[in-house]
A and B are shown apart, each in its own frame.
Chain A
Amino acid sequence: MTADVLGAPVKRVEDPKFITGRGRYLDDITLPAMTHMAILRSPYAHANIRSIDISAAKAAPGVVTVIVGADIPYNPLPMAWPAGGASGIQNNISTPRALATDSVKWTGEGVAAVIAESAAQARDALDLIEVEWEPLPAVVDAEKAIADGAPQLHENAPNNHVFDWQVGDKPGTDAAFANAEVVVSQRLVNHRLIPNPMEVRGDIGWYNPGTGEYTIWMSSQTPHIQRLLLAAFVMGVPEQKIRCISPDVGGAFGSKIFCYADMALVLFASKAIGGRPVKWVEARRESFGSTIHGRDHITYVDVAATRAGEVKGLRVRTLANLGGRLSTIGPGIPTTLYGRILSGPYKIPNVHCEVTGVYTNTTFVDAYRGAGRPEATYVVERAMDLLADELGIDPAEVRRRNFLPPDSFPYDNPSGLLTAVNGSKLYIDSGNYEPAMDKALAMAGYADTAAKKAEAKARGKLLGVGLSTYIEVCGVAPSKWIGAVGEGWGAAMWESSNIKVHLTGKVVVTMGTQPQGQGHETTYAQIISHELGVPMEDIVVQHSDTQGTPFGYGSYGSRTSNVGTGAAIKAAARIREKARRYAAHMLEASVDDIEVDGAEYRVKGSPDKKKTIQEIAFALDLAFDAPEGMEPYLDETAYHDTPNCTFPFGTHIATVEVDEETGNVELVRYVAVDDVGKKINPMIVDGQLHGGIVQGIGQALWEEAVYDDDGQLLSGSLLDYALPRAAWLPNFELDETVTPSPVNPLGVKGVGEAGCIASTAAVANAVNDALSPLGIRHLDMPFTAQKVWGAMQAAPRSSGSSKGGQA
């Protein structure tokens, strides 16, 4: 018998190639006669293009051609997820073109491209392009952009509004506030982040004049979607004429979901030069300005509650800065994935949320790990702490008094947050929030917080402890629901799997999902090994090429473990069923008498009469003796549309120490109890949690995209944008509770974004707790040393330190 590997911490089968440098990323690919492209990007945040002189660049050594926007007949890039959900929502859409034609809306928008024999020659020739600019006033802040007299970015977007969207129960919420015993209000800034995957983006485009077919290699999370978008929406080329291939993808965090201008550009360029392949790989600095950014909300939150700490209403008004033009699903993130989950794990009877999407002269904003859910968690978790502070009740106790009880599930939010316009609903699938919090409190020694604060104070440190009791939305999403929360084209969200058992007994699994470091080749193999009884090493998992994999929507939104896995399990069941029918034929028994145990198909009551799946595959693939009406070959495809999303949850507790003299914040302890349902591979779950937690900590403490008032990105390189480093972090103390999801047969919930959704708020609450003795009620992230020091200098109360810094 093959050992059951489902749920085991199997080492990742991908790792030998990745850790020995044998991965094959986009930039590792060289094609015959390949050329190289460099893109001239706008130095202005807002400007009209009066003219572009490319003559000198065209004559430069090695240059094959130079392209400007006017050369390219393609449509602007598509916008696939407008803010929707209530009738009559107007979305004022402007998306990028392959190259800008008349004007630029942010520093970094592409205006011309050089194709040359070498990457260096392409780069050198950029300096020879002369653009006559007409600089225009710029605005980078969402509140300033909607104010009277602000620079206007687009004629179709009065006052720079992309949309005005709302969700929830306004009259009910207003009534809750009218009757409230306590109201707590706060302005919160969830600042802008820059994703920075280890591998930057890039594409290679190849047009074959002999067939009229386009092939594009792209560092993408979504090759099938890009094929559809490029064909049907951008290029006007029949979909079957485009093939998209994602080689190994070295991280993405959402930034590689989207349809980017460079994708259309390399394909246009390859055709323009007669079919030589064209490679473009962004420089890190280029990536900072022209790959999407994340977050960037300004939020006003009000909480209505009783004196006992029971929350009766939550009112949220958010300005979502979406950048100079819209990325592929920019408006969907701060609406559906944010406003609809604002109540978190709490029983809040009245919630209302208004979101205005805003154009500014900044890089476009779209899904970045967590995408809307970290922003929502931050709002509600800060609100819980502010309420606790107002009432003088312990933050853990306030949460306890508001948690949904364990008999609430499946939970239909009374404000209809999760209800789409066509009436289809999401339900919070399962949960049991208090045990996870209690476990985390015990692990963190929460009861001893006061003593720890006193001990730290004696060392010149202000210690703070912060909780984040979060929920995640994984397994995005039922197509019917997702279609009805967006408008226009939207996107379906089902997944696909094909399984073939070859006559050697080896198994080839092809998936529509697209890994970018998660370990799909391991986890799918564990599942199929469990389902078919075939050893893991006999299974190969393939993906990433629209030629040869079934259509799939790709990997993002923590959807693979629920939706992709659902398809794989369905396909495996079909393989089993066909094998069972053929086993009955081989064993001269009735199908109903065949029982399946791992790889073995046995006649009930006659255990010696059996065939293995390998024997069945051999015979059925040869088909010398196939019965009438049975097709040869074990080859089954399945498509899976999830009936619901899954909602992981947990409690994270951060402990920080603030240096009273410098404002430097050190994270000294991090405890996390996560409930991600059942686990396919607990080692990979831990890895996802670690990475996610670090990313969320990075936002709270160090990472920040900073623009000046003219729209120049001041934090435009890794010298000024601080990514977290291992040496700055304590060992994470992880534990779990396990509440299986009823949504899928494995009971898994997913984990791709959970750490990142939880940790930002935990750290923010910890720092604010540390500063509270100074009379500081709320400080916005990121808690850089300078910002914390400044807040301490301006604080109502001194820290009482004999060594306080001087102004």
Chain B
Amino acid sequence: MIPAAFEYTRASSVEEALAILASDEGAKLIAGGQSLLPLMKLRLAQPARLVDIGRLPELRGVSRLDDGRLSVGALTTYAELMDSPAVHLGVIRDAVPSIADVQVRNRGTVGGAVAHADPASDLPAALLALDAELVIQSSSGTRNVRADGFFQGPFTTGLAHDEILAAVILPAPRHDAGSAYAALEQRASGYPIAGVAAVVVVGAGGMIEWAGVGVTGVSDHPYRAHEVESALVGTMGSVEAVAAAAELVVGDREVNADIHAGRAYRAAMAVVHARRAIEAALARAS
């Protein structure tokens, strides 16, 4: 459990980190290190250089934007996220405590989880369902992208080598919305076999006006299940409507299989947990 040799640089500013990334193809960012270091110890990852951004204050903390949305700095730890106004989002409240253990939640960061893009990571499902925005910084400036489309494959994102994920922007909690996360845990790793985050906005008459459904653990990257969302919107969220929508959660996607869950089981669990997450979200919206 000894990593291969690597160079280490502690960045003193975002600009310095960006400059190193731009000049060194072998450089990799490290923040909380809760995902990267275990991979390095197993020598599954062997970066030539680590650029430690873990102490940059400008990337840390949760603040409220003028429009009421929450800007979560990339270095915000899971524990800090649970201590922030983001806890009013049910899907955050459900998903974050299911991530790893207390020690990991004290060190692991929001930005690290998103940039690392483990196909079974819990948090991306929540961000997809919330239609979160990602703030990406490079030497040439800042760009904002939606979480939907950011996750592209196993450990693969829309982040270029010379970019840093600076913040995640979450929608403001609102009274007519409800959200929840439901997952079946793989007992050894704690990662979800199937995890589904659901957000619903319910109109005064009880009709679902908007839905966001994020899915993790099921396919080669976390995805937003637009088919489920479309099936929900315009319904009254009846048991039958929710069940019918949940059936669409996998679609024709290729489903992961391992010793803990074969394709049929994992797909079935995606449906069950989609239904459970949507039902819980609806209950919170009323």
Contact = CB atoms under 8 A, between A and B. Distances in A.
Interface of A: 119-120, 123-124, 283-285, 661-662, 664, 702, 706, 714-715, 717-723, 728, 784-786, 789-790, 805-807
B264 interface: yes
B188 A719 contact: yes
Given A718-B188, A786-B193, A789-B268, 18 more contacts: A120-B2, A123-B2, A124-B5, A284-B1, A661-B272, A664-B184, A702-B188, A719-B188, A720-B189, A722-B186, A723-B188, A728-B187, A785-B193, A786-B260, A786-B261, A805-B268, A805-B271, A806-B247
Contact of A722 (B188, B193, B262, B271): B188
Contacts of B271: 805-806
B259 interface: yes
B2 A119 contact: yes
Contacts of B4: 124
Nearest 4 A/B pairs, CB to CB: A722-B187, A722-B188, A283-B1, A719-B189
Contacts of B189: 719-720
Nearest to A806: B268
Chain A contact residues: over half helix, strand or loop, or mixed? loop
B265 interface: yes
Contact of A784 (B1, B2, B187): B187
A797 to B, nearest CB: 19
Residue of B42, B184, B187, B259 most packed against chain A (CB within 10 A): B187
A720 B260 contact: yes
Contacts of A714: 259
Interface string B115-142: 0000000000000000000000000000
B89 interface: no
A790 B193 CA distance: 15
B235 to A, nearest CB: 19
B281 interface: no
B269 interface: yes
Contacts of A728: 187
Contacts of B184: 662, 664, 785
B264 to A, nearest CB: 6
Interface size class of chain B, counting residues whose CB lies under 8 Å from the partner chain: 20 to 34
A715 B259 contact: yes
Contacts of A805: 268-269, 271-272
18 contacts: A285-B1, A285-B42, A662-B184, A664-B184, A702-B188, A715-B259, A722-B186, A722-B187, A722-B188, A728-B187, A784-B260, A786-B193, A786-B260, A786-B261, A786-B265, A806-B268, A806-B271, A807-B268
A723 B101 CA distance: 14
A119 B1 CA distance: 10
B232 to A, nearest CB: 18
Nearest to A123: B2
Given A123-B2, A661-B272, A722-B187, A807 B259 contact: no
A228 B113 CA distance: 53
Nearest to B243: A803
Nearest to B275: A803
A702 B247 CA distance: 29
Nearest to A706: B259
Contacts of A662: 184, 269, 272
A68 B268 CA distance: 51
Contacts of B272: 661-662, 805
Given A714-B259, A720-B259, A721-B188, A807 B264 contact: yes
Contacts of B265: 786, 789-790
Contacts of A721: 188
A526 to B, nearest CB: 36
B247 to A, nearest CB: 8
Residue of A284, A706, A721, A806 most packed against chain B (CB within 10 A): A806
Residue of A661, A714, A718, A728 most packed against chain B (CB within 10 A): A661
Contacts of A284: 1
Interface in B236-286: 247, 259-262, 264-265, 268-269, 271-272
Interface in B53-111: none
Interface string B1-33: 110110000000000000000000000000000
Contacts of A702: 187-188
Contacts of B5: 120, 124
A804 to B, nearest CB: 10
Contacts of B193: 785-786
Contacts of B262: 786
Nearest to A61: B5
A285 B2 CA distance: 11
A715 B265 CA distance: 19
Given A284-B1, A661-B272, A807-B264, A720 B42 contact: no
Contact of B188 (A123, A720, A789): A720
A706 B42 CA distance: 20
Contacts of A786: 193, 260-262, 265
